[in-house]
Structure 1
Amino acid sequence: MTNKSHVQKVDVAILGAGAAGMMCAIEAGKRGRRVVLLDHAERVGKKILISGGGRCNFTNIHCRAENFLSENPHFAKSALARFTPSDIIALVEKHGIRYHEKTLGQLFCDRSAHDIIAMLERECAEASVRTVVGANIISVNRSEQFQVHTADTVFQSESVVVATGGLSIPKMGATGLGYTLAEQFGLRIVECRPGLVPLVLNAKDREQWCDLAGVSAEVVAEAGARSQRGSFREKMLVTHRGLSGPAILQASSYWHPSESVSLDLAPDVHVMAPLLLRNARRDTAAAINAIRTVLPARMAERWISIYPPDDWTNASLTMMEQQLHAWHLTPAGTEGYAKAEVTVGGVDTTELDAKTMQSRKVAGLYFIGEIVDVTGWLGGYNFQWAWASGVSAGLSA
């Protein structure tokens, strides 16, 4: 503590004014707790503002624990049951925010993510939450109480809630502070990696495919080990460096370096069936025409040029069919945290109480949101985890 620092006493200090932190502050404030919400950014909810293309995909009506990746797949159940999609929808409707369902249960604001920020700020104000932006956390320690040190203030609190987010999108201010604090207090960290992120192909595959950047197709993408394997039927997009699109982003959270990704390029379609008919034409043009029923023309032509059949027998055509349904690629890597929407891994859930999000080792210390080893699918699931984990901690801290 410097001579210029002054001490402020609060009940709850929340580090991070994102979706989880603000929701936690609201719930704790409603209980009459003296809450300070601290964020190093110049304004609250910066990542909320860029979410969903600026319209904030604030929940998914189909949200279940099965939509999350974690070393403990059951951990999220308690919080998700305590605060459901219906609860956040009720809050959004209370504030008169118009919204719509896009696809697969994803709910977006009609107008702007600014509406969600305004909602959270109003709720914080009504709960007497004090918000301090531009507050760089220098250190956090604990004796009889916690001391959260910023440049000019020491906040003494009974509870500290770490809602600092993950490592994704560092240009928005993401840091590793929360993980440092977890390790400082003796909590285990499940190894982190970028999730919901485009994949980069190896040099050979880039040369063969990436000049088709912009081409997209509906596929089933699968990745991951048998115990934690994700399979997603959505669009795939070819990029200048590899593959993206919803199907690839989803699968990327399950992918580990050196593993392959399996792509079904023709879900539920027997592509070669027309060529197997009696007296059917069997040549390159016929094969391209067949493949064009499931893939864009340029990709169909490229497929045949790279994977021509040995001959035009039934066996070769069957082999081509199988390859279209199980195209295995081994990516060179991902586009990294700069392009990742989330961080996979984080504070080990065995270290936390599933009902309250409180550390089992350090009373009064809580971890919520993206920093926890609970990672949602694309499509509003991570927001629902932020709301739910924030409420769980706010009811206890």
Structure 2
Amino acid sequence: MEQFDVVVIGAGAAGMFCAAQAGQGGCRVLLLDNGKKAGRKILMSGGGRCNFTNMYAEPAAYISNNPHFCKSALARYTQWDFIELVSRYGIAYHEKTLGQLFCDESAQQIVDLLLKECELGQVTLRLRSEVLGVEKTEDGFLLTVNGEKVSARSLVVAAGGLSMPGLGATPFGYKLAEQFGLKVLPTRAALVPFTLHKPLLDHLQTLSGVSVPAVVTAENGVTFKENILFTHRGLSGPAILQLSSYWQPGEYVSVNLLPGVDLEAFINAERVAHPNQSVKNTLAQKLPKRLVECLQTLGQLPDVTLKQLNVPQQVELIDTLQQWRVQPNGTEGYRTAEVTLGGVDTRELSSKTMAANQVPGLYFIGEVVDVTGWLGGYNFQWAWSSAWACAQALVYENR
């Protein structure tokens, strides 16, 4: 039977980074993954360029039932630490928007970095490895992997969440937590597009591919200012993905299609200059013509000229465009979600080490934990930070 100091389950961002750091600290580490390739989700991220962190990563950008939990790890291994590592490997990167950092070339560069770091730590990586059972022993843990027994003093669960099941996501990490008596909070898809009810969807489908800058607001008051994208299923784009983490089924979403525009002043000025111009053509100066036509078809914009537009109609028009209320009928679910909300209850874990309070030697890191970041590299930063905090504890424990 093989013996290791540490077994890490899940060769994604958090698992690979933790294994590498623990290995470089002197631990004998086995890294397991059920897929045929390490870092599958990394390769898919950021349109294949991996949005590996965000320059503005801070605790306020994370959702958790225990909002203070992420503070320690994020403070101890920051975005600047990972940026320094990326620079050390000579990986060129650029800022896209709002502090989002992407590789100039390919997400494969980040996977290669992590694999090289694992190599430096003499980590044993085994792919296509299914963990069939885990038992607690006096000395640590006994795992059954592809029918073979493996023992370890410490076990790290970095099995990810339920998002993107096509890349091998399973509820393994949650089930393992429950096996050892840890509470798992309800999970749901996050950073995910909205689907819409008919007949609204039938009308908006004609806008598939149209993108506009907007401010979107959830019923709890949370607001994001970025683009929204009309799709053949409903609404997507950065602002919608962000808001999906705060939206609850049945709630409405408020969309300001013309943020920063004094619409009343604009319409009044146009009325003076072009009284016979249609409302549709006037608004097409500020919004895509297809969107204006669609809203008119829906009966949400009057089909009149500016001089015919009366005061109540103008008030309603401004309200429609700057507080457009849409009620999604749901989301596209885990299939297209970037992350999973909920997971292992952080009150069961040490915020300093990621260790389970009641189960010595058991750790949970990354997406499997109830910490979910905003869109834009925040979830990768949580992976790096939680992995690093865990690795420091492993090195200390296995000295």
Contact 1:45-1:117 at 8 Å conserved across structures? yes
**Does residue 1:360 correspond to 2:357, yes or no?**
yes
In structure 1, the partner of 2:397 is: none
Contact 2:214-2:258 at 8 Å conserved across structures? yes
**Does residue 1:63 correspond to 2:42, yes or no?**
no
Separation (CA, whole Å) in 1 of partners of 2:24 and 2:355: 19
**1:272 is matched with which residue: 243, 264, 267?**
264
**Does residue 1:287 correspond to 2:282, yes or no?**
no
**1:105 is matched with which residue: 99, 103, 107?**
99
DSSP 3-state at the match of 2:313: helix
Alpha-carbon displacement from aligned partner over 1:220-249 (angstroms, at most 9, x marks no partner): 11225x3xx531111111111101111111
- How far residue 279 of structure 1 moved from its aligned partner, in angstroms, is 6.2
DSSP 3-state at the match of 2:38: coil
In structure 1, the gaps of 5 or more residues are: 1-6
DSSP 3-state at the match of 2:17: helix
- How far residue 285 of structure 1 moved from its aligned partner, in angstroms, is 4.6
DSSP 3-state at the match of 1:382: helix
Contact 1:271-1:290 at 8 Å conserved across structures? no
In structure 2, the partner of 1:370 is: 367
Separation (CA, whole Å) in 1 of partners of 2:119 and 2:392: 18
What RMSD over aligned residues (CA atoms) do the two structures have, in Å?
1.8
In structure 2, the partner of 1:126 is: 120
Amino acid at match of 2:301: P
Amino acid at match of 1:113: A
Alpha-carbon displacement from aligned partner over 1:86-113 (angstroms, at most 9, x marks no partner): 1111111111111111111111111111
In structure 1, the partner of 2:289 is: 297
1:375-394 pair list within 5 angstroms: 375-394=372-391
Separation (CA, whole Å) in 1 of partners of 2:147 and 2:7: 16
TM-score normalised by the chain length of structure 2: 0.93
DSSP 3-state at the match of 1:168: coil
Separation (CA, whole Å) in 1 of partners of 2:51 and 2:64: 22
In structure 2, the partner of 1:329 is: 326
% same residue? 48
Amino acid at match of 2:212: A
User: Alpha carbons of 1:294 and 1:274: their partners in 2 closer, same or farther (altered >3 Å)?
Assistant: closer
**1:193 is matched with which residue: 170, 179, 188?**
188
Alpha-carbon displacement from aligned partner over 1:67-101 (angstroms, at most 9, x marks no partner): 11111222111111111111111111111111111
In structure 2, the partner of 1:160 is: 155
DSSP 3-state at the match of 1:27: helix
- How far residue 278 of structure 1 moved from its aligned partner, in angstroms, is 9.7
Separation (CA, whole Å) in 1 of partners of 2:73 and 2:269: 55
- How far residue 37 of structure 1 moved from its aligned partner, in angstroms, is 0.5
In structure 2, the partner of 1:206 is: 201
DSSP 3-state at the match of 2:247: coil
Larger mean CA deviation between 21-30 and 288-297 belongs to 288-297
1:300-311 pair list within 5 angstroms: 300-305=292-297, 306-309=299-302
In structure 2, the partner of 1:219 is: 214
Separation (CA, whole Å) in 1 of partners of 2:350 and 2:79: 22
- How far residue 283 of structure 1 moved from its aligned partner, in angstroms, is 7.7
- How far residue 281 of structure 1 moved from its aligned partner, in angstroms, is 7.4
User: Alpha carbons of 1:285 and 1:153: their partners in 2 closer, same or farther (altered >3 Å)?
Assistant: farther
User: Alpha carbons of 1:69 and 1:279: their partners in 2 closer, same or farther (altered >3 Å)?
Assistant: closer
- How far residue 366 of structure 1 moved from its aligned partner, in angstroms, is 0.7
DSSP 3-state at the match of 2:359: coil
1:33-72 pair list within 5 angstroms: 33-72=27-66
In structure 1, the partner of 2:72 is: 78
Contact 1:200-1:242 at 8 Å conserved across structures? yes
**Does residue 1:317 correspond to 2:314, yes or no?**
yes
- How far residue 294 of structure 1 moved from its aligned partner, in angstroms, is 3.2
Amino acid at match of 1:181: L
Separation (CA, whole Å) in 2 of partners of 1:281 and 1:312: 14
**2:142 is matched with which residue: 147, 150, 160?**
147
- How far residue 273 of structure 1 moved from its aligned partner, in angstroms, is 2.2
Separation (CA, whole Å) in 2 of partners of 1:317 and 1:119: 57
Amino acid at match of 1:127: G
**1:250 is matched with which residue: 242, 246, 253?**
242
Name the count of aligned residue pairs.
388
Contact 1:22-1:37 at 8 Å conserved across structures? yes
Separation (CA, whole Å) in 2 of partners of 1:60 and 1:277: 42
In structure 2, the partner of 1:95 is: 89
Separation (CA, whole Å) in 2 of partners of 1:21 and 1:374: 16
Larger mean CA deviation between 111-120 and 304-313 belongs to 304-313
Contact 1:195-1:342 at 8 Å conserved across structures? yes
Amino acid at match of 2:60: E
Separation (CA, whole Å) in 2 of partners of 1:126 and 1:278: 67
- How far residue 345 of structure 1 moved from its aligned partner, in angstroms, is 1.0
In structure 2, the gaps of 5 or more residues are: 395-399
Contact 1:284-1:304 at 8 Å conserved across structures? no
Alpha-carbon displacement from aligned partner over 1:41-79 (angstroms, at most 9, x marks no partner): 112111111111111111111111111111122211111
DSSP 3-state at the match of 1:332: strand
- How far residue 167 of structure 1 moved from its aligned partner, in angstroms, is 0.5
**Does residue 1:183 correspond to 2:175, yes or no?**
no
User: Alpha carbons of 1:159 and 1:278: their partners in 2 closer, same or farther (altered >3 Å)?
Assistant: closer
DSSP 3-state at the match of 1:52: helix
